[in-house]
Amino acid sequence: MTGPRTAVRRTARSRARRAAIAAFVVLAATVPAAAVAAGAQEVDAALPYTCALPSGEQPVTVRVSATFPDRVAAAEPVEPTDVTTTVELPEPAVADLTALGAAGVRAATRLAVGVTQDEATAEATWRGETEPTALPASGPLTLTATGDVPSVTGQGTGELVFSAGKLAVDLTPATADGGATDPAALTVDCVLADGAPAGGELATVPVGTGQGGGTDTPSGSPSGPESQVPSASGTPGRPGEEPESRQDDRAPKVDGTAPGAAAAERTAPTCKYDEKYPAGPMSLNAYITGYANVNKLDGAALIPPFCTLITQGEPQFEFFPDFSGATITQHSTADLYHAQRKQTPPFEATFLTFDFTPTTATMVLEQTGPMTIDSHGSTDFLFTSTDTYVRAPIVLRVTSLEINGTPLDVGADCRTRTSLASPDPEPAKYPGDHLVLHGRGEQVTGEPATGYLLLSGGPLTGKVTIPAFTGCATADGENLDRLLTASVSGPDNYVKQIQGQACFVSADVPNPDECTEDLQPLKVPVAER
């Protein structure tokens, strides 16, 4: 029989458990130093920024350090290494966090780095994460973020110039006992201040010098492998549709992957059990990612990979009277997880409001109650089919908004009034507003499973109503609830989420095909339209 199996220690059947899951929906100095070693140039630039804190705009020093090659051959990628972004937030920022009841904070940085070659331009995003940092009793708060960054390949010969641009700092504050504050997350948006040295330039890398045995190609002619190219369209496509885009083949190519990692793996957050969420005998973890339509904006938002911690339930079998088969039921529970909170990391989505104005929102999805995963199936011992329903109360919180490049203050408590809501096939048994996603899987004994199964993941789909917004207001008291509600809220928004294979962390010997050495999910799924 190939139906769901219980994770039992010290038996052959416990060797490789995959996961039940949850999924849900959404709806966002100094000039470079000279090379210090042959073939490399080390950059350490202190740049002045202006950041929009809850208490108002403040000057902030941002230090960017990295190692670049001093030159590359034509078609050879430039791969910055040892990248660190250090943000020194002033004392008023510490006061803002203390006012929320925070004793410490964790941060993620998103630095836009412009890349130019001749007249062509592209943009890369340098992401970093910090360790948990205690708030100082006085003085500034220094946050040091590290992470891999995309490589860039020039198109032909000519210098590649890297320059720092907009910076977003996603803050996740924590109370002294490790609990969440209210709000649980906020984003600080920063722009390069006027008079920044060399306009924020970080490094210049000549291309086409013959370094590494490469051959020069005419300036402007395409070269190198296909990779992500900046799009002129601000509107993501809907699931099942390809987004419209325009590109300049002469622009430097920004690779969607960090060196040696797949794109999804590069951006996947930490996903493992800790002292606040300890693993039990039936513990699994899994990554999830996908798209969700927003009907009013005629587009779809991408939810980057996020982490779910799962407690797998015991499968229950009820055999047919003639023992020709059995029905199978299984009840499991799950939690969203990010930095010891039941939420996703902050993420961005961009749409064209009124069909022409690019609008970018930074958001967090917060779990507000128990998340359940219920599977119902049947088997004749040769063929097994299973229907799985994921139910999760989820609130959407908007932490920042940018309209046509101009930040719009939405306040610290901008969120949907109630949970995202889906029609439930059993409303009497499962009352209240919650997201519902459904997955169906089938498997013939001895053959690979198709669709979604409890243990191996796959696609989950559904429709969701985005409720009205509340708590959205500018610093001067202007209420934005009606604006966001009119622009976004509404029913029948189609959702498609993909769960990756999970890691059974409680196995005596975790399966290396499912788990990393530190017991995180090895497989990071790719969103599907």
In-domain check, residue 339: yes
- Separation between Cα atoms, residue 202 and residue 179, nearest integer Å: 38
pLDDT digits (tens, 9 = 90+) for 93-103: 999 999 999 99
In-domain check, residue 249: no
Cα distances (Å, whole numbers) of residue 211 to 73, 77, 84, 442: 5, 12, 26, 54
What is the pLDDT averaged over residues 199-223?
58
In-domain check, residue 1: no
Q: What is the pLDDT, as a whole number, of residue 353?
A: 60
Let me know whether 218 and 314 are in one domain: no
pLDDT higher than threshold 80 for residue 2: no
Backbone phi and psi for residue 276, each to the nearest 5 degrees, phi listed first: -80, -35
Neighbour tally for 423: CB within 10 Å: 12
Let me know whether 95 and 204 are in one domain: yes
Backbone phi and psi for residue 483, each to the nearest 5 degrees, phi listed first: -65, -50
Q: What is the pLDDT, as a whole number, of residue 378?
A: 93
* Cα angle 351, 357, 362; round to 5: 45
3-state secondary structure of 433: coil
What is the pLDDT averaged over residues 82-91?
94
Let me know whether 80 and 150 are in one domain: yes
In-domain check, residue 157: yes
pLDDT digits (tens, 9 = 90+) for 463-485: 999 999 999 998 888 899 998 89
Find all residues with CB under 8 Å of 358, minimum gap 6, and list them: 234, 350, 351, 352, 403, 404, 405
Let me know whether 295 and 167 are in one domain: no
pLDDT digits (tens, 9 = 90+) for 292-322: 888 887 777 888 899 999 999 999 999 999 9
Express the helix, strand and coil content of the chain in percent, nearest 5 each: 5, 45, 45
Let me know whether 298 and 211 are in one domain: no
Query: In 3D, which of 182, 131, 180 has the Cα closest to residue 341?
Result: 180
Q: What is the pLDDT, as a whole number, of residue 359?
A: 80
Find all residues with CB under 8 Å of 291, minimum gap 6, and list them: 236, 238, 239, 300, 301, 302, 303, 495, 496, 527, 528, 529
What is the pLDDT averaged over residues 244-266?
47
- Residue 65, both tokens: 């350090």
Let me know whether 194 and 297 are in one domain: no
pLDDT higher than threshold 90 for residue 447: no
pLDDT higher than threshold 50 for residue 90: yes
Let me know whether 219 and 276 are in one domain: no
In-domain check, residue 461: yes
In-domain check, residue 519: no
- Residue 479, both tokens: 């209420």
Mean pLDDT of the chain: 80
Let me know whether 190 and 333 are in one domain: no
What CATH number is given to the structural domain containing 186? 2.60.40
Backbone phi and psi for residue 39, each to the nearest 5 degrees, phi listed first: 85, 5
pLDDT digits (tens, 9 = 90+) for 321-368: 998 999 999 999 999 999 888 999 888 887 766 555 678 888 899 999
pLDDT-derived band of residue 156, with 50, 70 and 90 as boundaries? confident
Q: What is the pLDDT, as a whole number, of residue 250?
A: 61
Which of the two residues, 272 and 239, has the higher pLDDT score? 272
Rounded to two decimals, the pTM is 0.56
**Domain hosting residue 340, numbered range:** 271-504
pLDDT higher than threshold 60 for residue 4: no
Which of the two residues, 187 and 329, has the higher pLDDT score? 329
3-state secondary structure of 96: helix
What is the pLDDT averaged over residues 250-273?
60
In-domain check, residue 182: yes
- Separation between Cα atoms, residue 289 and residue 304, nearest integer Å: 5
Q: What is the pLDDT, as a whole number, of residue 392?
A: 96
Let me know whether 83 and 168 are in one domain: yes
Let me know whether 176 and 313 are in one domain: no
Q: What is the pLDDT, as a whole number, of residue 147?
A: 80
pLDDT higher than threshold 80 for residue 404: no
Q: What is the pLDDT, as a whole number, of residue 106?
A: 86
pLDDT digits (tens, 9 = 90+) for 173-183: 888 877 778 78
Which of the two residues, 88 and 179, has the higher pLDDT score? 88
Let me know whether 454 and 347 are in one domain: yes
Query: In 3D, which of 330, 318, 447 has the Cα closest to residue 19?
Result: 330
Let me know whether 203 and 290 are in one domain: no
CB 475 within 8 Å of CB 61: no
Q: What single-letter amino acid sits at 418?
A: T
> How many structural domains does the chain have?
2
In-domain check, residue 518: no
- Separation between Cα atoms, residue 354 and residue 485, nearest integer Å: 14
Q: What is the pLDDT, as a whole number, of residue 205?
A: 93
Neighbour tally for 174: CB within 10 Å: 24
For residue 408, the cross-strand partners are 401
pLDDT higher than threshold 50 for residue 388: yes
